[in-house]
Chain A
Amino acid sequence: MTRPAAWVALVLGLLYFVIPLWGMAEFSLRMRRGVYSLDAYGSVLANPEFQRTFGFSVLMAVVTILVGVLLVVPTAYWVRLRMPRLRPVVEFITLLPLVIPAIVIAFGYIRLYNTGSWLPLTGTAGGANVLLLMGYTMLALPYMYRAVDTGLASVDVRTLTEASQSLGAGWGTILGRVILPNVVVAVLSGAFLTFAIVIGEFTFAALLDRPAFGPFMQRVGEDSAYEPSALAVIAFAITWACMGLIGLVTRTQKHTRAGA
């Protein structure tokens, strides 16, 4: 492709993304007749349900990240250390959530864990939260695993493990003091992606009937005009903040890890 053609393609692509965003943002500012104002944002933020659902989703995101890290870091580490030939298999498994629709999994959960089953998780709020957590962890798996695995690729896992062992360290120490600190950047980028996914997630939350932010956005969209746009802008801002933080963390951490 020639240079001008490339520029044209780039600009068209950008417009494709920017125009709807711009339109939405502009619309969200027009709640007061004739002037731009942040009224729609004020109304959204003052809504107690916004605070409740947003708080719930943030909490779920944090717990999902913790569970994800505890699940993924040891797994990815062990696969690299002891079962390198299984790596493609494990990677394939972690990618499955991308091809299996969330709705299928949610229905699967509901069938398996309904009130008449051997483990009636859907019967209680706590149980449903556990199912939601499982769903979220699974949704985050492809991103978390990839991020951590890439992080592990940049350190000599085997030699560092052996060095730690010869210094008397057991598995817990090795994972906590050697492996995790050296993939912390990767873990954080996986964590921010997980955060963005969980905050905007709708399917699981709606089907399991949890008071999460996704279903709230959808309800607001049905009831009012300007607030949904304001909410969408807020959701976008959160996602972008997460992306920005990934970039920031990656950059600031680089110098202590160079030459690893």
Chain B
Amino acid sequence: MAYLDILNLQKSFGANRVVRDFSLPIDKGEFVSLLGPSGCGKTTVLRMVAGFETPDEGAIRIEGRDVVPLRPNQRNIGMVFQSYALFPNLTVAGNVGFGLKVAGVAGAETRARVAEMLELIGLPEMGGRYPFQLSGGQQQRVALARALAPRPRVLLLDEPLSALDAKVRVRLRGEIREIQRRLGITTIFVTHDQEEALSISDRVVVMNGGVADQVGTPFAIYNQPATPFVAGFVGALTPIEATVVDPRAGTVSSGGMVMHLGRALPMAAGTVVPIALRPESVRLGREAGREIVLPATARAVEFMGSVIRIRAEAGGQSFLLDTFNRADAPPPQPGEPVEISFSGRDVIVIGG
């Protein structure tokens, strides 16, 4: 049985149905991200787990026990907020020790635990400082230590990195994951940044309009998107509309071009299926093993450093493709004729 079991949650604000039939079993020690666009209900799900909102229907079980009737301060769930929410009147040590003090833990034990937590977040010398004397990244680390100090059963983080600048964000997400692994704490992490979700999670839940569109490992979410929304939201791709030619042989056609996917399809011949190509599956020029070669015209070239993203147009269809930067091979200019190639085996069948 799952350690944290979210079952059929429903939540409306007035006539606005914000969360619909949301279920998610989470194993002990698992790191799960809720990913989705603004307003899709991520925070609302998290707040229901924390106890700040009451679900209209459904259950939230921790170790088999429904926590919905419990008040937030009875749930023993740690929470980290986007705005840090440190107590401005308390020192770092006071903040980290707050939960222990509330629980009536003895002074000496609290001090030891606070020191341990500050060591864990890499700020052992900062106990005497006030929150305003810390950088944003340090404040968020203190907030993490504060949430972890009372040994919560579950850790919830609501866009904890959104207020930080890009470099700190990447470093801190690695640290959060590292600390989470070391403590083995069951964690739900909310973000609207797909790279963040894919890079640190055991599993990702892609939410859309209050519904969990897909739950899966980052690899599965990226490579086998269950819906057009997931395909479009996670990563960049070229959507193509194709018609199934021979489902058993796995052939589809689009605009006169026939692709052999190398796997059987569950649809009947003649069905229109949404397929897509990730930019990294499409190459500039010919390459062995990429049997489909199309003459195209470069339309836009985006130099991103190690990778160059090119938009090329072939037969009225535009393709995104990524190539690695090479100092001796400058990218094509917009308007230049190019050849692109890909393999039918790399084609993603959305929902298939």
Contacts and interface: CB of A to CB of B under 8 A. Distances in A.
Given A162-B79, A167-B147, A169-B73, 10 more contacts: A162-B52, A162-B85, A163-B85, A163-B146, A165-B51, A165-B71, A167-B146, A168-B103, A182-B88, A256-B88
Nearest to A184: B89
A177 B102 CA distance: 10
A156 B102 contact: no
A173 B100 CA distance: 13
24 contacts: A155-B88, A156-B83, A156-B85, A159-B81, A159-B85, A162-B72, A162-B85, A163-B79, A163-B86, A163-B87, A163-B143, A164-B73, A164-B102, A167-B73, A170-B73, A177-B98, A178-B87, A182-B87, A182-B89, A255-B132, A256-B88, A256-B130, A257-B88, A260-B131
Nearest to B88: A260
Contacts of B86: 163
B250 interface: no
B99 interface: yes
Contacts of B51: 165
B106 to A, nearest CB: 16
A49 B277 CA distance: 94
A193 B285 CA distance: 80
B278 to A, nearest CB: 39
Interface string B60-92: 000000000001111111110101011111100
Interface in A166-201: 166-170, 173, 177-178, 181-182, 184
B50 interface: yes
Given A162-B85, A166-B50, A168-B73, A259 B131 contact: yes
Given A166-B72, A256-B88, A260-B88, A159 B83 contact: yes
Contacts of A160: 85, 87
Contact of B73 (A165, A184, A258, A259): A165
B132 A168 contact: no
SS class, residues of chain A in contact with chain B: helix
B150 interface: yes
Contacts of A260: 88, 131-132
Interface residues of A, number: 25
Interface in B139-188: 143, 146-147, 150
Interface string A235-260: 00000000000000000000111111
B132 A166 contact: no
Given A165-B72, A166-B147, A259 B102 contact: no
Contacts of A182: 87-89
Of the candidates A163, A165, A170, A173, the one having the most CB atoms from chain B within 10 angstroms of its own CB is A163
Contacts of B88: 155, 182, 256-257, 259-260
Interface in A121-168: 155-156, 159-160, 162-168
Given A166-B147, A167-B99, A168-B73, A259 B81 contact: no
A23 to B, nearest CB: 46
B102 A169 contact: yes
Contacts of B79: 162-163, 166
A184 B103 CA distance: 25
Given A159-B81, A166-B147, A170-B73, A257 B89 contact: yes
A167 B150 contact: yes
A127 B79 CA distance: 49
Contacts of B143: 163
Contacts of A181: 89-90
A69 B294 CA distance: 77
Contacts of B81: 159, 162-163
